[in-house]
């Protein structure tokens, strides 16, 4: 006759098979719940830093455009707003080894064939610093400008408005339809 092995915990008696089963279920639940926890604050911090960097970049561009436009004859007081399409983009170094082989065959009947094979692979180059490994960045592209709004005292004059649009196009490489120039309200002066 087989004896049941039991474990007494406080005033409770548990069968060992039941205890092992319950511990297994608890382990599975812990593993499942761990996937719901945040993966790390580094990703959120990095996204926040990129967003802050983009805002700073836009503010610097706005300030520089404001300073330039206030020196243009007929423009007067100016307010500028620049919107960005995205944050900066990092271009990483890529390794692209290429292997080529050529084979020429001819048979006794006078026929011939040639086979040319090209095999290439692309992989990202990483740099290591101790246990940390990250892609090797060769350059960082600035954020792309989505649009430019210029509010100016002299914007009611067609020549002044056209000059403002041309300046914004030259400085930021945006199309004319993405630059909006409007006259500043009299009360704001």
Confidence of residue 140 (pLDDT cuts 50, 70, 90): confident
Q: Is 60 exceeded by the pLDDT of residue 1?
A: no
Q: Is 60 exceeded by the pLDDT of residue 83?
A: yes
Of 69, 115, 125, residue with least CA distance to 93: 125
In the chain, % helix, strand, coil (3-state, to 5) comes to: 40, 35, 25
Give the pLDDT confidence score for residue 181 in this predicted structure: 93
Q: Where are the beta strands (DSSP E) in 21-86?
A: 78-84
User: What's the rounded Cα separation, in Å, for the pair 93 and 8?
Assistant: 63
Cβ 92 vs Cβ 124: under 8 Å: yes
Answer with the residue of higher pLDDT: 135 or 10. 135
* 11-65 pLDDT, tens digit each: 777 777 777 888 889 888 888 877 666 655 666 677 777 788 888 989 999 999 9
Q: H-helix or E-strand containing 104?
A: strand 98-106
Answer with the residue of higher pLDDT: 169 or 42. 169
Q: Is the pTM of this model over 0.85?
A: no
Q: Is 90 exceeded by the pLDDT of residue 175?
A: yes
């Amino acid at each position: 006759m087989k004896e049941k092995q039991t474990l007494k915990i406080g005033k409770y008696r548990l069968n060992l098979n039941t205890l092992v089963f319950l511990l297994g279920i608890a382990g599975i639940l812990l593993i499942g719940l761990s996937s719901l926890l945040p993966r790390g604050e580094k990703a959120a911090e990095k996204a926040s830093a990129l967003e802050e960097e983009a805002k700073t970049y836009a503010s610097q561009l706005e300030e520089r455009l404001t300073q330039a436009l206030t020196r243009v004859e007929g423009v007067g007081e100016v307010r500028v707003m620049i919107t960005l399409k995205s944050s900066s983009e990092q271009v990483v170094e890529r390794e692209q080894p290429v292997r080529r082989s050529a084979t020429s065959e001819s048979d006794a009947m006078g026929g011939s064939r040639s086979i040319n094979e090209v095999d290439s692979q692309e992989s990202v180059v990483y740099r290591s610093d101790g246990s940390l490994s990250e892609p090797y960045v060769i350059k960082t592209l600035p954020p792309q400008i989505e649009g430019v709004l210029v509010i100016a005292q002299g914007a009611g004059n067609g020549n002044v408005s056209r000059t403002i649009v041309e300046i914004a196009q030259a400085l930021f490489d945006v199309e004319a339809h993405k630059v909006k120039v409007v006259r500043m309200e009299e009360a704001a002066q």
